[in-house]
Amino acid sequence: MFKRLLVICSLSVFSMGYVSAQHHEEGHETIHEELEEIHEEIQHDEESFNMGNMIMHHILDEHGWEFAHGVKLPLPVIVYSKEHGLDVFSSARFDEGHGEYGPYVMHHEKIALKDDHHAAVYDFSITKNVASLILSAVLLILIFTAVAKGYKKNEGKAPKGIQSLLEPVITTIKDDVVKANIGPKYEAYLPYMLTLFFFILINNLIGLTPGAANLTGNIAVTLTLALITFVIVHFKANKNYWGHIFNPPGVPMVLLPLFWVIEIVGIFMKPASLTIRLFANITGGHIILLSFIGLIFMFKNYAVGGGVWAIGTFMSLIEILVAFIQAYIFTLLSSMYIGSAIEEHHDH
């Protein structure tokens, strides 16, 4: 507000000076330069923090992994184009060249050729999400290798350490989710279901840590998980499943085409619901948390900061609960879809 008043006063003073000395061209240029400097200063102050840009920067993928402002881990950029072949270099080269390196230019994390922006450039880079995917896979392997060793070492004894922590979760998923919804043939699908649950869970939790990637908030990742379930469902489906879709019992022949359309739409709505539910819940939670954090930088007030800290802490605890719930729901629905596809009449 002070700077806006300063601009108004400056405009008045400089206008009077300009009227009184209109014939001095040099003085006019000086006034114009001063007004431009004041205008640029106000624009800089108002645009120094943009909440929308901050939120999108944290939830979208990028070619480097920025843990905090000024602390960035360069990642490998792997690109192929017909004109230049295969190129591998560090993402730090784009940072040093202000978005340009060699024949390439990067705009909003999209890499193109300087000379021909329409030329095809295939990007196989290790981005932040890919690095987070590798990290979570390594963590899962280490954790469950330790659990497996614990089972062998403590056979017939009470579980200890990380085994005692994860055994109730594994038992719950096996008995209350997989076995209850798939039926007698559940053991064939149990490894996939446990992998699915813990993969989603660990990435949900990693995404809540400061500077982490938003992997399960990436719709490409959630779509891939949903498509894997979709493929299992329709490759393992029995004749009863297909018969219910193309020849539903009790439906008049004249209405069969309408029922085919409804059933086929339903087939593709299942993976769509899996994809959107996980993506929307995780991304929405991150946006809410980042919005509260952004209020601190917008108001620059200790009272606001204290209130935001309290609300943000509560929301973080809610998000931890949501991380478990979303992993559970994705696994539950996948089990239900597979169970409905392999169910026999006598099972029902």
pLDDT at residue 136 is higher than 50: yes
**247 near 292, Cβ under 8 Å?**
no
- Select the more confidently predicted residue: 29 or 210: 210
Pairwise CA distance, residues 163 & 136, whole Å: 19
pLDDT digits (tens, 9 = 90+) for 59-71: 888 888 888 777 8
3 state DSSP class of 65: strand
Pairwise CA distance, residues 230 & 131, whole Å: 26
The pLDDT assigned to 20 comes to 43
Q: How confident is the model over 13-37, as a mean pLDDT? A: 47
The pLDDT assigned to 26 comes to 45
Task: Identify the bridge partners of residue 90 per DSSP, sorted by sequence position.
Answer: 76
The pLDDT assigned to 346 comes to 53
pLDDT at residue 19 is higher than 90: no
Q: Among 281, 240, 220, 297, which Cα is nearest to 52's?
A: 297
pLDDT at residue 142 is higher than 90: yes
The pLDDT assigned to 51 comes to 75
The pLDDT assigned to 34 comes to 54
**143 near 199, Cβ under 8 Å?**
no
The pLDDT assigned to 345 comes to 63
pLDDT at residue 24 is higher than 50: no
Does the pTM exceed 0.85? no
Rg of the chain (C-alpha set): 29
Q: Which residue has the tokens 């024949």?
A: 103
The pLDDT assigned to 156 comes to 74
Burial class (CB in 10 A: 0-12, 13-18, 19+), 274: buried
Pairwise CA distance, residues 67 & 51, whole Å: 18
Structure-derived torsion over alpha carbons of residues 5, 8, 13, 14, reported in degrees to the nearest 10: 130
Q: Which residue has the tokens 């290798």?
A: 145
Q: How confident is the model over 315-330, as a mean pLDDT? A: 92
The pLDDT assigned to 179 comes to 93
DSSP string, 90-154: ETHHHHHTTSEETTEEEETTEEEESS-TTS-EEE----HHHHHHHHHHHHHHHHHHHHHHHHHHT
What Å distances lie between residue 146 and 140, 143, 163, 166, CA to CA? 10, 5, 8, 11
Torsion region of 122: left, alpha or beta (phi above 0 gives left; psi -120 to 50 gives alpha): beta
226, containing H or E segment = helix 219-236
Which residues 6+ apart lie within 8 Å of 5 measured at CB? Answer: none
Pairwise CA distance, residues 73 & 63, whole Å: 9
What Å distances lie between residue 190 and 146, 183, 186, 235, CA to CA? 19, 11, 6, 17
pLDDT digits (tens, 9 = 90+) for 59-111: 888 888 888 777 888 999 999 988 889 999 998 988 888 888 888 998 888 89
Pairwise CA distance, residues 82 & 301, whole Å: 54
pLDDT digits (tens, 9 = 90+) for 214-273: 899 999 999 999 999 999 999 998 888 888 888 887 778 888 888 888 889 989 999 999
Banded model confidence at residue 12, pLDDT cuts 50, 70, 90: very low
Mean pLDDT, the chain, integer: 82
The pLDDT assigned to 144 comes to 92
**224 near 329, Cβ under 8 Å?**
no
pLDDT at residue 30 is higher than 80: no
Tell me the residue type at 183.
G
Helix-, strand-, coil-residue percentages of the chain, each rounded to 5: 70, 10, 20
